[in-house]
Amino acid sequence: MDTSEAIKRRWAARAFLPDMVGKDQVRDILETARWAPSGSNIQPWQVAVVTGEAKQKLGDALAAARAGGLPQRPEFEYYPKDWMEPYDSRRKACGLALYQALEIGREDKEKRMAAWLANYHCFGAPVGLFFFMDRGMSAGGLIDMGIFIQSVMLAAIDKGLATCPQAALAEYPDIVRGQLGLPDSMMLVCGMSLGKADQDAPVNNYRTARASVEEFTSFHE
């Protein structure tokens, strides 16, 4: 598979088969992704790979926190407080497509909550990846992290696996660090589900639109 095809084929899976993903497969994915570029080659990424009982316990703790109304404490503001166009329309269209695929109505708060809580158990994927960087890094480190995370997703496609990058897995960083025994100096950026996609699940059979090149590009000669 060439790079262009892999980029276009990447999508966020939200239903996974229980098929195990071996540690060697995960290592191979990270072996490829570690060649991602970073400013001055600082390579700020740290990755926690969570499977089995550890994954179940962490998912239970995160879901309990959300269901119990514990305030979220992400390490940084992912989204703006005040939305503007065209971004507001894009996010609403994305959410509408997701809930339509799940056949969940706007007023069905119980099903919406259940769908959200599935985030914390990685949508049934056997592997959860948690991406950290040193708290002392600046905003440029987040750019490097994004490049690395995209590299992980593309390397997973090469292995026949699917992913879902998730800001939701970073809503309660203190819980994640506590469950995994990690120091506070490690800032949680986001998480990711990794596994074999359930191709028959309706939630895996819709795709989001992309703006045309003309909409975001200007050429200056």
CATH of the domain at 190: 3.40.109.10
- Is the pLDDT confidence value at 10 over 80? yes
- 196 falls within a domain: yes
- 216 falls within a domain: no
DSSP 8-class letter at 16: B
- Is the pLDDT confidence value at 89 over 90? yes
Q: How far apart are CA 77 and CA 213, in angstroms?
A: 27
Residue type, 101: A
How many structural domains compose the chain?
1
Q: What's phi and psi for 66, nearest 5 deg? A: -70, -45
- 217 falls within a domain: no
- 185 falls within a domain: yes
- The helix/strand/coil state of 47 is strand
- pLDDT in the model for residue 102: 87
Specify whether the CB–CB gap between 97 and 153 falls below 8 A.
no
Mean pLDDT of 31-43: 98
Return mean pLDDT, the chain. Answer: 95
Beta bridge partners of 165: 192
pTM exceeding 0.85: yes
- 89 falls within a domain: yes
- 107 falls within a domain: yes
- 201 falls within a domain: yes
Locate tokens 């390397």: which residue?
155
Give the structural domain span for 38: 3-75+82-210
- 215 falls within a domain: no
Mean pLDDT of 136-163: 96
pLDDT digits (tens, 9 = 90+) for 109-127: 888 899 899 999 999 999 9
Mean pLDDT of 2-17: 93
